[in-house]
Amino acid sequence: MIPDESLGGYSNTFKKSKSKVIKILTSVLQGRKKINLKSLQNVILFIVNWHHKNGGINLPKKIWLSSPHMSGEGYELQYVKEAFDTNWIAPLGPNVDAFEKELAAWVGAKHAAALSSGTAAIHMALKAAGVEKDDLVFCQSLTFSATANPIVYQNATPVFIDSDFKTWNMDPQALEDAFKKYPNPKAVILTHLYGLSADLDPIIRICWDHNVTLIEDAAESLGTKYKGKYTGTFGKYGVFSFNGNKIITTSGGGMLVSSDEERIAKVRFWSTQARDKARHYEHSELGYNYRMSNVLAGIGRGQLKVLDRRLIQKKHIFEFYKENLSHLEGLGMMPVNDWNEPNFWLSCITLSGKVKPLDIIEALERENIESRPIWKPMHMQPFYRNYDFLGSGVSQKIFEHGLCLPSDTKMTDDDLNRVCEIIKGVWR
């Protein structure tokens, strides 16, 4: 509590009536009264103090876009406690080894390397694929920047590929056109956007025909299936993220999976500073500090136990929005195809009528609810706008008309109904 004495000479005046505060501030703002910095600080302190005494400012309950959600059964704490009890606090350890095996088994991958982030996993996938200076890498444009940045880390050149409306992901025709223009890329990176699977069959065929490594950025799609098989297991390399906003989290972390045991072993080597097997510290290759800690891996092991539950909750959120909002003029739900079983990481909509994404974002924001625009395509970003782009502008249209709705698995149906009523109000 801020004492009234801190208000100095203004204290007695303000005690008489809160209307005095309004009059003084109005005079200052209109230029009829001058106030020095110290006095202004006192005015601000008084306002804060007054709100404390009168119950404060009561904001509506905060609803997040997608926040960390612990199991509730203490699974994470169990494994973290084991790390503390055994003093396995540094990177690597039993939790890391177990998390790699458990995650690989869950998605049906043969081998996995637990890393510090999904970005690190993409970087290591590119390095494992042999991407070097001046190589070309075809990359989906409609994605988060972490998909593209590792290409530049390797001093390679990204060529951005458009999406299609059917999947919101890499357009096979645009990919084919890219191969006609640039016949010798070193790798292709596609993203399964917001948990929606790309149409993998034609993309795999194109990469196979051109003998090019396919890297799946499945950072947003852990638990998504394409024709009954989990995303992240179709390409040579698959990447998962456990950032705080993902369907499960390790606070920060990622995983690289592959059927190539030798390459995964090499990634583990590079990711621990590429230290050679010698009595002294010897390094014959460039290394990175990319390995996951044993503590964070413990969180991941606990989170993996509730992944099935999270998938059910995410789907319920999407279905709730679909049932309550899809009748609104110009509003469309993100595409879900027969062969696509999304994890519904984020529930997204498009708007084609008088209501714009910003109208909804601002309406929700006023009620303490978080929403977000669709990712801005990479070829439109200031840093990447001078790199080539193949496509017809679909990704730009999705960006301009799309919106991510709150998809937090801690939301109740009452919370969801509150979101829907606010959105409906924008149409009224």
Strands 372-373 and 340-341: unpaired
Q: Give φ, ψ of 151 to 5 degrees.
A: -60, -45
User: Which among 194, 211, 174, 191 is positioned nearest to 247, based on CA atoms?
Assistant: 194
Q: How far apart are the first and last CA of the chain?
A: 43
CA distance 403 to 395: 13
Q: Give φ, ψ of 388 to 5 degrees.
A: -70, 155
User: Which among 291, 296, 251 is positioned nearest to 120, based on CA atoms?
Assistant: 291
Query: Which among 127, 236, 246, 314 is annotated as catalytic?
Result: 246
The question of whether 133 is a catalytic residue gets the answer: no
CB-based contacts of 426, cutoff 8 Å, min separation 6: 355, 359, 360, 363
DSSP state of 3: -
HSE, CB side, 13 Å, CA atoms: give it for residue 295: 8
C-alpha 197: how far from its chain's center? 16
Q: Which residues are catalytic?
A: 246
